[in-house]
Amino acid sequence: MQAETTIEPPRAHYLNADYGWRSWLFTTDHKRIGILYLVSITLFFFLGGLFAALVRLELATPAGDLVSSETYNKLFSMHGIIMVFFFLIPSIPAVLGNFLVPLMIGARDVAFPRLNLLSWYLFNLGGLFMLYAVLRGGVDTGWTFYPPYSSNFANTNVAAAVTAIFIAGFSSILTGLNFVVTIHSMRAPGMTWFRLPLFIWSMYATSIIQVLGTPVLAITLALVAAERLLHLGVFDPAYGGDPVLFQHLFWFYSHPAVYIMVLPSMGVVSELVATFTRKNVYGYKFVAFSSIAIAVFGFLVWGHHLFVSGQSVYAGMVFSFLSYAVAIPSAIKVFNWTATLHKASVSYQTPMLYAFGFIGLFTIGGLTGLFLAALGIDIHVTDTYFVIAHFHYIMVGGAVMGYLGGLHYWWPKISGRMYPEGWAKLSALVVFTGFNLTFFPQFLLGYMGMPRRYHAYPPEFQVLNVMSSAGATILGVGYVLPMVYLVWSMRYGPKASANPWPSTGLEWQTSSPPPTENFEVTPVVTNEPYDFPALARGRAGAQLEPEAHPA
């Protein structure tokens, strides 16, 4: 079996196996479900981006002159809610995870395919509630829904919005559940835990967070709705309640949620670094365990969002210390990726450009997180643009870069076509430039004292704000370009072979696009992960011997 395989594009694969809207809307094929999610989250991404554009437009001038402050509150709230819950949380798990997890472990599908489809429908049902809330005028509580404003005083569509997130949350829970069971129960023969691709380790860790954390968000938002609708006053000081309790429960989920957003991206980067250096990732086991460590430690730090809330200083010190600890496994990954580059033959194709972008920008985002974890500094910069810059460096500079890199890397597998490399490289550079121009000035603004969630600011901040808004425009262009050329490539792109890069991993041992059952014959794994020397010698990542388990 040759490494650059000459497998012809198959006559029948998962895209042409069946036609018609019913074959898509009632599919249980994990690959088709991944594409269904791709469509849904892309729509929400552009809606969330529209709100961001309006925010940046308002902030181009110091006066609050584009919209009223009430409307501005709605703009940033909708931007946050849609981007977090309807784009970032599902993005890599539901699109790339759904598509790749069974392929990478050598399975025919996930453990519960119908549950998988249900997850997609739940996501869209939540999305419909969200659209309803938007069309009715939106919410102005911020994506964090703090009471007592959200429970007692906001007269916007809080109940609709929290219902939307509640339902979408169950979509996330079920996806995580599906992946946990799939990874435990359905690995191909020979696919031991330490032969798994690092993307699978990341997805497993992410799924643990989804399963353990999201239910807490669900009950907490349900309590806000109950307080609004049924007068059950769990956070109401009039009943002896404490609004800070809401913050504890909310951030118990929402901090690990940021790891739901970034861990899969880290998994993608591991795959990209391995493939485009043609080396095993340095310290595979360290990187694998660091994913689990991030998932576990990520649950211990939520109080760093409550430093100025009235939380006990002693609890604050504990959470500050733990927040420093959680940076360590992330740093281990960055060190190991960097070490992989040493004496490697690096090729600079588009996915690798996104990987480099991730490593640099995530490092900046992560380090500024440590600034925020220091109690003293946090007093100064909390609720300023410093925080906004910090989390956008991680969410956009990190998570979205990884998502785009992965989308490009696996595009030939998903669509059977190659994207145009020239346009893709250009887009990557546009995104990188636009991103830094948008968000680096915000570190400076925040440090100088510009508060977040305000639509007016002192005139001396205007220059940096204009830079930021200009950058946002460039960033927007960078996001539209892939939309265009990826869709174009589905029809006009050159056909892709099974293993175009080439890379190790079971997903590259089957055709592009794969058949519905993923593999003609169930693979038996004998190679260690990222065994590029074996690939070069012409031995594939797995023996595809006719087995006792024909697909």
Shortest Å, Cβ 42 to another protein: 27
Closest to another protein by CB, 303 vs 441, is: 303
CA-based angle 254:256:260, to the nearest 5? 105
Q: Which is nearer to another protein, 281 or 306 (CB)?
A: 306
Closest to another protein by CB, 252 or 443 = 252
Nearer to another protein, 304 or 455 (CB): 304
Shortest Cβ 406–another protein spacing (Å): 24
Identity (one letter) of the amino acid at 268?
V
Min CB(459)–another protein separation in Å: 38
Report the chain's C-alpha Rg in angstroms.
23
Question: CB of residue 183 vs another protein: minimum separation in angstroms?
Answer: 10
Q: Which is nearer to another protein, 379 or 536 (CB)?
A: 379
Helix 243-277 / helix 401-409 crossing angle, nearest 10 deg: 40
Q: Which two tokens stand for residue 228?
A: 């609004």
CB of 146 to another protein, least distance (A): 16
187 or 408: CB nearest another protein? 187
Contact (Cβ atoms closer than 8 angstroms) between residue 47 and residue 138: no
Q: How far apart are CA 199 and CA 190, in angstroms?
A: 18
Q: Which residues neighbour 460 within 8 Å (Cβ) at sequence distance 6 or greater?
A: none
Write down the least CB distance from residue 10 to another protein, Å.
19
- Minimum separation from the CB atom of position 81 to another protein (A): 20
Q: For residues 5 and 214, which CB has a smaller minimum distance to another protein in the complex?
A: 214
- Of the pair 41, 110, the CB lying nearest another protein is at 110
C-alpha to C-alpha distance for 439 and 387, rounded to whole angstroms: 11
DSSP state of 451: B
Q: What is the DSSP string of 76-121?
A: HHHHHHHHIIIIIHHIIIIIIIHHHHHHHHT-SS-S-HHHHHHHHH
CB distance 99 to 74 below 8 Å: no
Torsion (CA) 206, 180, 525, 8 in degrees, nearest 10 = -80
In angstroms, give the least distance from the CB of 233 to another protein. Answer: 5
Compute CA 67 distance to the chain's CA centroid, rounded to the nearest angstrom: 31
Minimum Å gap between C-beta 174 and another protein is 9
Give CA–CA dist 140/464, Å, rounded.
26
CA distance 291 to 287: 7
Q: What SS3 string covers 146-169?
A: CCCHHHHHCCCCHHHHHHHHHHHH
- Coil, helix or strand for 500? coil
Q: Which is nearer to another protein, 507 or 517 (CB)?
A: 517
Footprint of another protein (CB under 8 A): 102, 107-113, 173, 177-178, 180-182, 184-186, 211-216, 218-220, 223, 226, 230-234, 238-242, 244-245, 248-249, 252, 299-300, 302-303, 306, 311-315, 318-319, 517, 522, 548-550
Output the smallest distance, CB 547 to another protein, in A: 10
By C-alpha distance, which of 265, 278, 404 is closest to 341?
278
- CA 77 to CA 157: how far, in whole Å? 12
Nearer residue to another protein within complex by CB, 263 or 464: 263
